Amino acid sequence: MRISQQPLVPSSTVPAAISAQGLRRTYGNVVAVDSLDLDVAEGEVYGFLGPNGAGKSTVVRMLCTLASMTAGSASVAGYDVAKQGDLVRLSIGVALQDAALDGKLTGRETLTLQGRYYGLDRDAAVTRIEELAPLLEMDAIDRRVSTYSGGMKRRLDLAAALMHNPEVLFLDEPTTGLDPISRAVVWEQVRSLNRDLGMTIFLTTQYLEEADALTHRVGILNHGLLVAEGAPDELKRTVGSDVVVARVAANPDLAAQAIGQVPGISHIEVYGNEVSAATGDGASVISPVAVALSAAGVEVTDLSIHPTTLDDVFLELTGARIEVEE
Amino acid sequence: MSETALSRPAGGEVIRARPSGFLGDMASVASRALRLLPRDLEAIIPAMLIPLFFLVVTIGAIQNLAGDVVSDIDYKAFQLPVAIMTAVTGMSRANSLVIDISEGYFDRLLMTPVNRYALLLGLMVADFTLFFVMAIPVIALGFAIGVSFGATGVVGLLVFVLFGALWGLAFTGFPYAIALRTGNPAAVNSSFLLFFPFMFLTTAWVSRDVMTDWLAAITWFNPMTYALEGMRSLFSGWDGWALGRALLAIGVVGLLAQTLAFRSLRGRIRRG
């Protein structure tokens, strides 16, 4: 049950749920985010993809009014982040990277209290907890959060972010550290929120498959700069439909030179002892690549072909791979 | 766990966020802090026992020496305000706040529409409530050893406890300021060091007229002196001047400490 991969490109007919112009944040001399322009349409699932330290969380913290902007401007749900912080906070739900929960409260107390922060009375909180039951392990809802597993905490955190039916939901690395089953549950709920409730979702992730599976559009962030933006398929097409990867024992530059001579190869990237070559038709070029490497005297330890991934896009744009850290 | 997707009830009104107002925000923050108090007994019980211990030991050690020299009231009554102040000074939710900061819960609160000042004032409401609870065993022990509020009655007793709670509330600004500025539990615990000059450079054990000159001189500048004298006055009758000075002294400490606390809150929010 995949969501549509059709991009929801913001236009004059679809109001922007999130908009930023020239967003910049520095910490001393360190520039965490620079010159970021962003438009996320209402009802869109937008993903920020990038390695740890790329600035993804900093952007989320600024848009959620948690961190101030050094420069630039932004609006969320139609409200100015810098000047109308109260209204922004009424309109958003946020689940940050680390599930920030009070271990001494039970799951139900956590949600009820979260509801109170958003002006929900007791009856409304009870109703919302029932509605959010699919996210929760109701058997454990009256247990203290300190007894929960990591996956249960993350789902409770997500449920807390949804207590007040936010217009815009921010998810900062929602599945980092989760087991595959919990990850699948979170994915399904994200899809459901967007598909069934039309919720705008802004998520950050370091998982390529997550960005691929969940988002309408992806922004690739590296060292605080937005280096590419578009629908995942659109971005992958810019690299090619297939990638031939040759791992060599030595001389990767010589290998790259040899592969570059093969007709049909469009881009070549060297990353350590790995040479990646983008092509429109992997099946037809893999044999010539093997021959070219052999003729050049390069010792090949592995030669493979795979469809283009967002990691290949990232490699093409930045010369580095996304190192996933759990 | 059900696999049913999240949905809104057909035809039902969608539940949305709405502002709770400042008092509502404060009540929400306070309700969490109060709910957690019984789950934090390991911090509260020692703080309840220490003033009882010192009250008994101090009376046992000094009462016979004191006679009528130390004060114009019974020495047990003389010591009761000290016990109350010991119970409430430095007792706050500041340690919980540090845990909230380090575990990200404070960030969660900052991303809700809860008024930023209510985040701190709500904790202080819980503290203020706790101070009355902390006073109960001290007062009970006081009654058990024969202290009486005969001159001012029940109202005097309530004012006595209220002054102690107000002092505690005023003082909470210091640990909260340290908590918000440093996010460091050890630093927050060190705020207890402030208690010593406040408590010991004053008329905690004897009245000013029997002190050495240098210590008596210092006590003039210690607001705790006036708070203690105001509370002690309630054993002799209604003394507006003593009570007024006590309130003023508490107000000065409160103004200083709370200014530091709220400036630290603004600083933490600004730093993000």
Domain presence at residue B6? no
CA distances from B230 to A224, A238, B163, B236 (A): 60, 80, 8, 11
Band (B3; pLDDT cuts 50, 70, 90): very low
Is it the case that residue A8 has pLDDT exceeding 70? Answer: no
B2, B7, B31, B108, best to mutate vs chain A, most A CBs in 10 Å: B108
Is it the case that residue A237 has pLDDT exceeding 90? Answer: no
pTM attached to this predicted model: 0.82
**Rounded Cα gap, residues B235 and B216, in angstroms:** 23
Percent with pLDDT over 90 in chain B: 64
In this structure, are residues A25 and A181 in contact, taking their beta carbons and an 8 Å threshold? no
DSSP one-letter code for A177? T
Band (A13; pLDDT cuts 50, 70, 90): low
**Rounded Cα gap, residues A170 and B110, in angstroms:** 14
Task: Give the structural domain span for B257.
Answer: 21-271
Q: Considering only CA atoms, which of B94, B76, B40, B12 is closest in space to residue B235?
A: B76
**Rounded Cα gap, residues B226 and B212, in angstroms:** 18
Query: Residue A190: CA atoms inside 13 Å, Cβ hemisphere, count?
Result: 32
Contact (CB<8Å) A165/B8? yes
Of all helices (H) and strands (E), which one includes residue B253? Answer: helix B240-271
For chain A, the structural domain boundaries read 16-231, 241-307
Contact (CB<8Å) A137/B32? no
- Tell me how many domains chain B contains: 1
Is it the case that residue A242 has pLDDT exceeding 90? Answer: no
pLDDT single digits (tens) A175-219: 887 888 888 888 888 898 898 888 999 999 888 888 888 999 999
Contact (CB<8Å) A67/B3? no
**Looking at this protein, which amino acid is placed at residue A86?**
D
Is it the case that residue A90 has pLDDT exceeding 70? Answer: yes
Give chain A positions within 8 Å (CB) of B9: 127, 131
Q: In angstroms, what is the C-alpha Rg of chain B?
A: 22
| Domain A16-231 CATH assignment equals 3.40.50.300 | yes
- The first and second tokens of residue B210, run together, are 């029997």
Give chain A positions within 8 Å (CB) of B114: 117
pLDDT single digits (tens) A40-78: 999 999 999 888 888 888 999 999 999 999 999 999 999
Domain presence at residue B249? yes
**Three-state secondary structure along B3-29?**
CCCCCCCCCCCCCCCCCCHHHHHHHHH
Residues 6+ apart with CB under 8 A from A276: A243, A244, A245, A268, A269, A270, A312, A315
CA distances from B99 to A3, A145, A161, B17 (A): 39, 15, 21, 27
Q: Return the pLDDT at A2.
A: 32
Domain presence at residue B2? no
Is it the case that residue B28 has pLDDT exceeding 80? Answer: yes
**Rounded Cα gap, residues A315 and B43, in angstroms:** 53
Note whether A104 contacts B: Cβ–Cβ < 8 A: yes
Band (A3; pLDDT cuts 50, 70, 90): very low
Note whether A142 contacts B: Cβ–Cβ < 8 A: no
Band (A130; pLDDT cuts 50, 70, 90): very high
Mean pLDDT, range B189-212, rounded to an integer: 84
Domain presence at residue B256? yes
Band (A267; pLDDT cuts 50, 70, 90): confident
Adjacent-strand bridge partners of A18: A40, A76
Q: Return the pLDDT at A239.
A: 74
Q: Which of A91, A100, A118 is nearest residue B103 as measured by Cβ atoms?
A: A100
pLDDT single digits (tens) B127-173: 999 999 999 999 999 999 999 998 899 999 999 999 999 999 999 99
Give chain A positions within 8 Å (CB) of B101: none
Q: Which parts of chain A fold into alpha helices (H)?
A: 56-63, 85-91, 107-117, 122-131, 150-162, 180-197, 208-214, 232-239, 252-260, 282-295, 310-318
Phi, psi of A37 (to 5 degrees): -110, 140
Residues 6+ apart with CB under 8 A from A260: A268, A277
Give chain A positions within 8 Å (CB) of B20: 116-119
Coil, strand, or helix at residue B88?
helix
Contact (CB<8Å) A166/B14? no
Note whether B111 contacts A: Cβ–Cβ < 8 A: yes
In this structure, are residues A305 and A282 in contact, taking their beta carbons and an 8 Å threshold? yes
Q: Which residue of A has its CA nearest to B114?
A: A117
- The first and second tokens of residue A142, run together, are 């009256």
Contact (CB<8Å) A89/B18? no
- The first and second tokens of residue A275, run together, are 């040479």
**Rounded Cα gap, residues B73 and B233, in angstroms:** 9
Q: Which of B105, B270, B272 is nearest residue A61 as measured by Cβ atoms?
A: B272
Band (B242; pLDDT cuts 50, 70, 90): very high
Note whether B272 contacts A: Cβ–Cβ < 8 A: yes
**Rounded Cα gap, residues B159 and B243, in angstroms:** 10
Band (A315; pLDDT cuts 50, 70, 90): confident
CA angle A279, A281, A286 (to 5 degrees): 80
Mean pLDDT, range A250-270, rounded to an integer: 87
Instruction: Count the residues in chain B.
Output: 272
Band (A305; pLDDT cuts 50, 70, 90): confident
A116, A121, A132, A173, best to mutate vs chain B, most B CBs in 10 Å: A116
Q: Please count the residue pairs, one from chain A and one from chain B, whose beta carbons lie less than 8 angstroms apart.
A: 124
**Rounded Cα gap, residues B57 and B199, in angstroms:** 16
Q: For the domain A241-307, what is the CATH code?
A: 3.30.70.100
**Rounded Cα gap, residues B161 and B233, in angstroms:** 13
The DSSP string of A37-92 is EEEEETT-EEEEE--TTSSHHHHHHHHTTSS--SEEEEEETTEETTT-HHHHHHHE
Contact (CB<8Å) B2/A133? yes
**Rounded Cα gap, residues B256 and A199, in angstroms:** 46
Note whether A71 contacts B: Cβ–Cβ < 8 A: no
Contact (CB<8Å) A66/B8? no
Q: Which residue of B has its CA nearest to A130?
A: B6
Note whether A27 contacts B: Cβ–Cβ < 8 A: no
Q: Return the pLDDT at A116.
A: 95
Q: Return the pLDDT at A99.
A: 80
Residues 6+ apart with CB under 8 A from B42: none
Query: Residue A83: CA atoms inside 13 Å, Cβ hemisphere, count?
Result: 7
The DSSP string of B38-71 is GGGHHHHHHHHHHHHHHHHHHHHHHHHHHTTTS-
Note whether B5 contacts A: Cβ–Cβ < 8 A: yes
Q: Considering only CA atoms, which of B59, B57, B53, B72 is closest in space to residue B229?
A: B72
- The first and second tokens of residue A35, run together, are 């010159």
Coil, strand, or helix at residue A219?
strand
Residues 6+ apart with CB under 8 A from A44: A8, A10, A17, A200, A201, A216, A217
